[in-house]
Amino acid sequence: MTSGPGPSILGEHGTGSPTHEIHSAVGRWVILRPVLPPDYPVLYTWAADLRELYLWSHDRRVAPYQEFAARVEASLRESQSYLITLATGTPIGFCQAYDLNLVEGWCSFLVYVVRPYRKMPHPAEATIILLDLLFKYFPLRKIYADVFEYNTDSYNILTNHGCFREEARLPNHIWYESRYWSVLKLAVYREDYYEARERMDRILQVQHDYNSLIARQGEAAREMPGAPPLH
């Protein structure tokens, strides 16, 4: 069994204790930090939007805010929950590891990122950061993700690198847009994750370098009035 990934993309701040969610994890595009009570209103805006709720939640009921806040408060005691932000502090999503079973060595997780960033590297990086934290701090053999069949963005992010495998399928399990869809239970094993981890990091680095190059070219073009676009 591999003990851990290669060079980490994370810059971690805090105690590093697995019993305290008080550190942040910093990537190239996103930061994961603990969910705090002042974050509840923005979490509620995402949970109250049925167009988005159908992408990540089995519970499609929109609860009143006070009930929602109480449920979040309770879930924080039983999960590892993080707000996903940009470097500016702007929240763009959240992620959570839940149903932690340290006896059998597994848990489940979800990652939600708002629509404007969904086709960008942010969801993939947030997923990698969360999995890094879970495999680093907890004796987990595997980590599950429930993916709704129609949520192709999530499915592609998790399966593109070959480390997630389908372990179960609940056929015709969930209703969405006039029909029933399956729920796929995907799993990543520790060994498979670390085998693919360096390759995923290289891909993110290429994306980061490309974005940086385009940004520099854009700045150069703005400094040269009348120059043609450089991409």
Span 8-22, pLDDT tens digits: 334 444 433 343 444
Distance from CA of residue 33 to its chain's centroid?
12
Domain assignment present for 89: yes
User: What's the CA gap between 122 and 197, in Å, rounded?
Assistant: 16
| Residue among 67, 56, 150 nearest 108 (CA) | 56
Domain assignment present for 20: yes
Query: Is the predicted pLDDT of residue 224 greater than 80, yes or no?
Result: no
Structural domain harbouring 62: 11-140
Maximum distance among all alpha carbons in the chain?
65
* Average pLDDT across the chain, whole number: 84
Domain assignment present for 118: yes
pLDDT score, position 51: 87
Domain assignment present for 198: no
Query: Is the predicted pLDDT of residue 112 greater than 80, yes or no?
Result: yes
Q: What's the number of domains the chain is made of?
A: 1
- Could you tell me the two tokens for 75? 């879930």
pLDDT score, position 122: 94
User: What's the CA gap between 156 and 94, in Å, rounded?
Assistant: 19
Domain assignment present for 148: no
Q: Residue 7: which pLDDT band, with cuts at 50, 70 and 90? A: very low
| pLDDT (tens digit per residue) in 77-106 | 999 999 999 999 999 999 999 999 999 999
Computed from CA positions of residues 89, 116, 156, 179, in that sequence, does the dihedral angle turn out positive or negative?
positive
Domain assignment present for 88: yes
Backbone φ and ψ for 210, nearest 5 degrees, come out as -65, -45
The whole-number average pLDDT for the span 110-134 is 94
Domain assignment present for 222: no
Domain assignment present for 114: yes
CATH code, domain carrying 116:
3.40.630.30
Least confident segment among 39-43, 95-99, 142-146, 206-210 = 206-210
pTM: 0.80
Query: Is the predicted pLDDT of residue 156 greater than 60, yes or no?
Result: yes
pLDDT score, position 170: 96
